[in-house]
Structure 1
């Protein structure tokens, strides 16, 4: 059972983003998609998930989270397996319940992994663009136009390569600064010495 669950979580990570976006495009199809069939069970009518400014970005985010979560699950699984079983035994001897053990021991020991995942998720959120081409093309009304899609559009649709180059450098500088600040702010608080 455990191997099957791990495979189910990791399988979306192995799919190319174009394939994942096409799969979810079928789920989001108004009136025909899987999501509309599920919401119809609760009496909710068809929804144009990708065609409304209020739901388009959330729909794109759901695809990205589904696709990337298996990758980050591997790191959390490795971090959980690295926690010595002696700590659980010691906590039980001291009278700590499951919640206290999780809050006082497991979560603090997972903080280095969480920092790594946060920085990688931030970089991935800016880096992913291919699913936007399939799902929304930045629409409707620019509701799902992310920065990298905007840079691509500036460079190849409007042929402003200089502006796109400047925006790329600014995005890289901002990502580097945010990652450095995360390391400086969180690194001292999460490692036990």
Structure 2
């Protein structure tokens, strides 16, 4: 007789767990189908050759990775991407923080400024690239009109290897800063107003208050933004495709664009899979380092 009251709670728990898993099932199916399974399939494909016509794919082991190591265009794309990431990550985050601090203050036209800063984020990436393509167009582009009015000589900004990558970097910063600003603005609005009042009573300057109070409290948000900025820096392809197509002379070829060319222009699926595996491993390692190492240092005590 005593077993009945014991089994009833267990049955209720099992039924609740089953109900929870059934609710999670659609999301799990989508996650496995479009994330985990493609990643596993790409890893397997990186050890096979590319099928050609009636010839099936054959096991080649690490040959695709050896080709990648010996490919000078790949290493050029790596150098370009590191330069691109080193410029876009700190500049976009710093600009986003400055904009958030500004529009968080009580000033006239604050709503318009917020909308203006966030507008590039909601624009399609292809549209953004086409807008800036007009800015950079030689002879009659907006930038050329400005430099011409100042008496400066004409310059092919996207056609010169010394300036092409910097121009693409500027477009990325312009688009991403407004997106990161939203997170900083939300974090600033959650800070206790009494902290600012106490700092004012103590005679602390704005810079001291930001350095000693606001910035430490914004570190968790900065970590989140940093992870997104790193991922975005290594997955850019739209702007490169519209603005330069990797040129001139691979000066703006980034890793994802090089991957696109290998896979869809040269139809070398095995080599493209190898590049994908390396890119995913590097990004996953950086993200894990940021979350499990930097996360312990960002919380204000």
Length-normalised TM-score, structure 2: 0.62
2:160 aligned with 1:65: no
Deviation at 1:52, TM superposition (A): 0.6
Deviation at 1:66, TM superposition (A): 1.1
Partner of 1:151: 259
Work out the CA distance in 2 between the residues paired with 1:78 and 1:187.
Answer: 20
Greater RCO structure (CA 8 Å; 6+ sep):
2
SS in 1 for 2:163: helix
2:274 aligned with 1:166: yes
Partner of 2:229: 121
Work out the CA distance in 2 between the residues paired with 1:39 and 1:87.
Answer: 47
> Residues 67-101 of structure 1: CA distance to partner in whole angstroms, max 9, x if unpaired?
12111110011011111111011112222111110
Work out the CA distance in 1 between the residues paired with 2:115 and 2:177.
Answer: 12
SS in 2 for 1:31: coil
Work out the CA distance in 1 between the residues paired with 2:203 and 2:251.
Answer: 51
Deviation at 1:154, TM superposition (A): 0.7
2:298 aligned with 1:190: yes
Greater gyration radius: 2
Deviation at 1:43, TM superposition (A): 2.3
Work out the CA distance in 2 between the residues paired with 1:189 and 1:104.
Answer: 15
Equivalent residues in 2 for 1:28-43 (5 A)?
Answer: 28-43=136-151
Tell me the number of residue pairs that the alignment of Structure 1 and Structure 2 aligns: 193
The runs of 5 or more residues in structure 2 that have no matched partner are 1-108
Work out the CA distance in 2 between the residues paired with 1:55 and 1:81.
Answer: 39
Q: What value does the CA root-mean-square deviation take over the aligned residues?
A: 1.2
> Out of 56, 63, 70, which is 2:164 matched to?
56
Partner of 1:175: 283
Work out the CA distance in 1 between the residues paired with 2:203 and 2:126.
Answer: 51
Work out the CA distance in 1 between the residues paired with 2:206 and 2:300.
Answer: 22
Work out the CA distance in 2 between the residues paired with 1:135 and 1:152.
Answer: 15
SS in 2 for 1:54: coil
Q: Is the 8 A contact 2:236 2:254 kept in 1?
A: no
SS in 2 for 1:53: coil
Work out the CA distance in 1 between the residues paired with 2:174 and 2:286.
Answer: 24
Partner of 2:105: none
Work out the CA distance in 2 between the residues paired with 1:23 and 1:192.
Answer: 41
Work out the CA distance in 2 between the residues paired with 1:90 and 1:140.
Answer: 56
Partner of 1:98: 206
Q: Is the 8 A contact 2:117 2:178 kept in 1?
A: yes
Work out the CA distance in 1 between the residues paired with 2:165 and 2:217.
Answer: 33
> Residues 119-147 of structure 1: CA distance to partner in whole angstroms, max 9, x if unpaired?
10111111221111110000001010000
